[in-house]
Amino acid sequence: MNSSLKALEDRLSHEMKLFSYPARAWPLKHQAEDGTSMVDVLIVGAGQAGIAAAFGLLREQITNVLLIDRCDPGQEGPWVTWARMRTLRTVKELTGPDNGLPAAAFRSWYEARKGAGAWDELVRIPKEEWMEYLLWLRDYLALPVENNTSVERIEYAGEALRVTLETPRGSRVVVARKVVVATGIDGAGGPNIPAFAHCAPRHLWAHSSEPVDFTALKGKRVAVLGAGASAFDNTATALEAGAREVRHSVRRPRLPEVSALRYLEFAGFFRNFRMLDDARKLRFMRRYFALPTPPPADTLERCRAHANLDLRLSDGWTAMQAAGDGLAITTPNGTFETDFAILGTGFKVDLAKVPYLAPLVPDMLFWRDRFTPGSDRVDTHIANYPYLTPGIQAVGRTPEADRVLRNLHLLNGAGLMSEGPICTGINGMPWGVSALVQAISRDLFQADADVFYEQFAAYDVSDPNEGYKPAAVAR
């Protein structure tokens, strides 16, 4: 560790002490029905959202927290796996995982390693450096992370949640007062795979969020479908890996140029959208989902730097099947052949497709229960979102179910409709973590408020400052 980074960690330690009052870890210890200790908060996912949430809880003196992640250490989230952009898409000044402490901010970490001059020259944050920063913060905070661990199922345990985990050492059960699902944009239902893809041999295509051996595509024909940033990231990566040609198909007749969603990036929206009534949420989100999002300009330039890019508009795919050793793909403009296809078709929201959440779905309230959906694509999409409280909590269909499901917090793609863009991505992270921590703190306190009162009424410890007299003031 260089001396500047050590100095930064010393500064962060000082800041944490400055803001540590009151420093008592206050939630009461609870036991499960079998006598084992409960975890106050189990966080599923140890990527950026999980780390930020755990840090926020620690600052609230909620310390009985466990994070799990299905990936190897250092592989959490998309940054060094399936994110194929070169840099983050957001401005470098973003905050979030730091929970408001300057020494924990990315800029402080970056400058400690490379100097203030390097920060001034930086345009966008390289994704690998962002991942390195997250790991530094996780290690500094000594967060309790169990890697290579996945959730097998979640069941009711009184008003708590019994979580069966699959670990390298076998299955084990954790009973948690709160479960936070911090699994990103792909954690609410998985990749959106068009029906036609299932007719093609599985080894000849991949979704953009799946592993792709790009070195094996050198000299090959590649086809990519999608108008979003991720689709173009994959096209650029294939071209840079030496693909003979990449046919990039977009269903739209033209690429969008205006990212109207940028308008929503202000503190008032991030903080307060979740408090709006249903009608106004619907009004905002119908427009939100109807608007196309253009691929970033630098991503397009990265693709267009290659002469063997074949960009086709009004070229949506309708069929895909085996043809010799490759694929035949049908579009409104005819059929073409390729060696490998990549589907940049985004993600779906369908909690019934998340195995450990599926048993809870019948008891949950969804947006389709709160309005009458139209038959258009946007309303069909909105209808599938779970209906969440402003505390990012699931809502039960009955009072009995609700008493348990309010302890399930969906800090992932499932939260977009109810909370706005504070449950995924980095831009809204400070407000999402704040809302989450506030709700968890409130519920844990309210659950034990009567016990706190009894302890308060019985308190008889002498004040350690009793009898203290201040020094005389010179005049």
pLDDT digits (tens, 9 = 90+) for 392-437: 999 999 999 999 999 999 999 999 999 999 998 899 999 999 999 9
C-alpha 181/C-alpha 316 separation (Å) is: 34
The secondary structure of residue 202, as a DSSP letter, is G
C-alpha 189/C-alpha 254 separation (Å) is: 29
Identify the segments of the chain with pLDDT beneath 50: 468, 472-475
* Under 8 Å between Cβ of 390 and 435: yes
Q: What is the pLDDT of residue 1?
A: 67
pLDDT tens digits, 238-292? 999 999 999 999 999 999 888 888 999 999 999 999 999 999 999 999 999 999 8
In CATH, the number for domain 3-189+348-450 is 3.50.50.60
Give the architecture-level CATH label for domain 195-256+292-343: 3-Layer(bba) Sandwich (3.50)
Q: Where are the domains of the chain?
A: 3-189+348-450, 195-256+292-343
pLDDT tens digits, 99-130? 999 999 999 999 999 999 999 999 999 999 99
Q: What is the pLDDT of residue 473?
A: 43
C-alpha 69/C-alpha 147 separation (Å) is: 5
C-alpha 227/C-alpha 7 separation (Å) is: 45
End-to-end CA distance of the chain: 51
Same fold yes or no, 3-189+348-450 and 195-256+292-343: yes
Q: What is the pLDDT of residue 472?
A: 46
* Under 8 Å between Cβ of 339 and 220: yes
Q: Is 179 left (phi over 0), alpha (psi -120 to 50) or beta?
A: beta
